[in-house]
Amino acid sequence: MYYNSIIEAIGNTPLVKLNSVSKGIKGTVLVKVEYFNPGNSMKDRMALKMIEDAEKDGTLKPGGTIIEGTSGNTGMGLALVAIAKGYKCVFTLSDKQSQEKIDILRAVGAEVIVCPTNVAPDDPRSYYSVAKKLNEETPNSIYPNQYDNPANAQAHYETTGPEIWEQTEGKITHYAAGVGTGGSMCGTSKFLKEQNGDIVTVGIDSYGSVFKKYKETGVFDEKEIYPYMTEGIGEDILPKNVDFDLIDHFVKVTDKAAAIMTRRLAREEGLFVGWSCGSAVHGALEYAKENLKEDDTMVIILPDHGTRYLAKVYNDNWMKDHGFLESRDFATAQDIIDNKNGQDSLYTVEKSKSIGEVIKMLNEEGVDQLPVVDNGSFVGSVNSAKLLERIIENPELKNSKIEEVMDNPLPFVGMDNTLDVLSSMINKENKAVLVRDDNQKVHIITQHDLLMAMTN
């Protein structure tokens, strides 16, 4: 048996069980290793689908040019399809992409135009805008637009989802993936949820991206947008391929946490993968720590290969320059809890308590925030500053139940998370984080705890 061209080798990538980085996690954690695609990434799937659809509807004609804005992997997939089918390629990339990605695209015959990262999406210099303009100016060209092209998600609905369902024999209970264009997350989720509506889907987002807050509040908050380094995950726009109804939860991951997990996957699992793979695994495992049960099976997509990141996350000097590898050890959540010598009682309040009773408890215990519980489950949180504002606005509220005004539950973090990760999670929205130790005891880490750790 042989393939008539390289594009026939796309798909049917393996599932591999995690054994080391997932220690302590209940259930089975599997990763779908997409670097087995010929272009070394999952983007091969949708690149082929977008081009085939364009051929069918007549927008792409023989000898035409494919123009696309890409973080690198989609470009590689499109380039392979173009080689097999006889098209030209022009790709625009942001300047945060690795040099390896640029070199690889040029090696397969594509023209590459590098654009600035720190500009608005509608800025004429952005890689989105440059690609659109080139498409308008180039005869017999197409702009596939992976962000809004339904073929992106459809490719994963037709291939990735069915493969996972078959490979797990229908036993999958949780699906996790980084969310960028939304195609692999939502196309796969749609298929899996059609097979079993109880499957839980977890989207992994970056700090500096808009997805998580938009999912949870419906607000596109431009204040959430700021530069970050991880490639191929998160967005400063809302692509049409991101169907938030198909994503049950979002977990945000820092650049550093993603980079460190990427290196751990190579060193401990033999999986030489890309940076966003580290994001996906770190975020998925953070969710799994609190939510996976013994009989559950989680599948995490690993989008690409480590060769794209040799000069970045796999380069010790680069990692040190960006503070991702330190000459001294950063304190961890475990260190902070150990330093309290057992004097870190976690006070909680039942959701049925009145606001007046909660205020009394805050004062008596001398704490600023309290997790709200319901039969042992963490269902919300309150902090003294917000309660004070509410009472001043409406004094009658003190007789209402706390569940009527409580905020979202405080997030759980892993014991191995370092100070920089913890500090990124404790902000205006989250005044503290929770940690569950090996004995299943829950601890709280506050802003004050972080300040103490930083000065020790």
- Asked if 26 and 54 count as a contact pair (C-beta separation under 8 A), the reply is no
Whether 418 and 330 have beta carbons less than 8 Å apart is answered as yes
Burial (CB count within 10 angstroms: exposed 0-12, middle 13-18, buried 19+), residue 133: middle
- Whether 414 and 289 have beta carbons less than 8 Å apart is answered as yes
Residue 50 CA to residue 350 CA, distance in Å, equals 52
Bridge-based pairing of strands 349-350 and 369-374 is: parallel
- Cα dihedral 229, 233, 238, 239 in deg (nearest 10): 130
Indicate if 398 belongs to the active site: no
Q: What are phi and psi of 361, to 5 degrees?
A: -65, -40
Residue appearing with tokens 């690993």: 302
User: In terms of Cα–Cα distance, which of 428, 362, 359 is closest to 397?
Assistant: 359
**CA 153/CA 140 separation, integer angstroms:** 25
Residue located via tokens 């380094």: 229
Q: Which of 32, 43, 252, 256 is catalytic?
A: 43
Are the CB atoms for 209 and 187 separated by under 8 Å?
Answer: no
Q: Which residues of 351-374 are buried (b: 16+ CB within 10 A; e: fewer)?
A: bebebebbbebbeeeebebbbbbe
Active site (catalytic) residues: 43
